[in-house]
Structure 1
Amino acid sequence: MSEFVYPPVIAAAKTMFRVLGLKIKVEGHENIPATGGAVLACNHIGYLDFIFTGLGAHPAKRLVRFMAKKEVFDHKISGPLMRGMHHIPVDRDNGASSYIAALKALKAGEAVGVFPEATISRSFTVKEIKSGAVRMAVAAKVPLIPMAVWGTQRLWTKGRKRKLWQRGTQILILAGEPMFPTRADDYEQVAKELRDRIQELVDRAQREYPVDGAGQWWQPAHLGGTAPTPEEAAALDEAELAERAARRARREGEREAGKPEE
């Protein structure tokens, strides 16, 4: 597979991080296999998580193919980059095609990155996850690597303005010990274990984080921050989905109204 885009993008990202003065710490990269397929499953707290999760695999010399929503690939700027880096588009109306594409990449020896919470966690805790990552690992017969990022939400997250030029922001990236699910396992139970392992990594990152988050918007409520509780975050997510559905219905109604009568 040709790699004309990915290495220059990584080099550009590292240069940008140096300019921004970001303090990035990677731990556990030895848990990511240097060769062969692997599913990297990470928590999701900000729009730049895929960059930092990929950076966490870079010491293992792996280029991670991330599964990302189709809209990112449709964008005139991000689309060519995503395709050039051989990331995998996820069409929510046709999930089977993205699943098949991910399996093909895994069986070809690629590392595939997923965010099993599906959407950004506004509470900065780990939401419930589905068993898709587990099913992919089992079908491709590859290890499943739990991962966590922390601090990325301070740069850019849902409901907050971008603060990319916030110098000195600390970013922690942790990779846990691999899991090896099989067809004999209960996939839903393994997904719960995966969530627990990701949460343990997040808890560890929060304990080790060198900045006191007490009273800060980016700190979870249970740690003294002002982020929404998981219950409040779920309500916000439901309201957003309802508004999105209403906008879609309005657009469809406008299109129907604009059609000429037969």
Structure 2
Amino acid sequence: MAQRRMFSKEITTSDLFVEMPSSSRLLYYDLGMEADDEGFIGNARMLSRAYGASSDDLKLLATKGFIIMFPNGVTVVKDWNLNNKIRKDRQKPTIYTEEKSLLTLDSKGSYLINNQMSAVCQPIDNQMSAQDRIGKESLGKESIGYNVEENFIFPDYLSEKTIESIKKGNPKNFNFRIPIAYLNQVTGKNFQFVEKSMNLIKARLKDGFVLDDFKKVIDIKFNEWSNTDMAKYIRPETLFGNKFDGYLNQMALPSKQGSQEYCDDLPF
């Protein structure tokens, strides 16, 4: 079996992927490293526990369509062939031939469930089955025919009030609204989900940042700037602009120290 694994940015930088909790994203990488040369894993539940992930992380990966789980526990990474290109002469065939026979490949090489599968594989723990979502979602795009409001997993650092404020808008834009909503939660302000702020968030996500990075930047700058003359700059256009990476990687300072030095390098 090959000892190296790869992951396509087409998958790992898609909106569908980055909106998941970090624990679910990490589990996807762990499963990718443990899969055989054709993307199959025989003990995904055990591995998820061994790597410190929860059963919800595994369910979320299945619900979002990043993995396909069979009733007997065998699991396959749906986009395995997009991630990995293994030479045929070096590829060790999977031992899960029966499960593989229930799958087909689309034009990109992603595993799809064939007609035989629909009668064999039922939704796991009442989650939406992979068959239900094939053709309804595409990676890197917002959901089509998918009720995000019912299935979206909100970060646990958001209060119920904050979550309700997010749900009042377009359900397809939850991941773009979360940083603004969390900023309101921390500061007590009422920044709106305006296009200018949303575009900044979309740009940072496209750069490869994730939602947890926005939380970290907000926490760092609020701790540093609140109760100082810099407090007026705790706003989306400053925090989520082209200095985002610098804010993310700076050392957090007690708020009393302020940051006049950093102020001189602000984008305004």
- TM-score normalised by length of structure 1: 0.30
For the pair shown, the structure with the greater C-alpha radius of gyration is 2
Q: Which has the higher contact order (CA 8 A, sep 6+)?
A: 1
By percentage of residues, which structure has more strand?
Answer: 1
- TM-score normalised by length of structure 2: 0.29
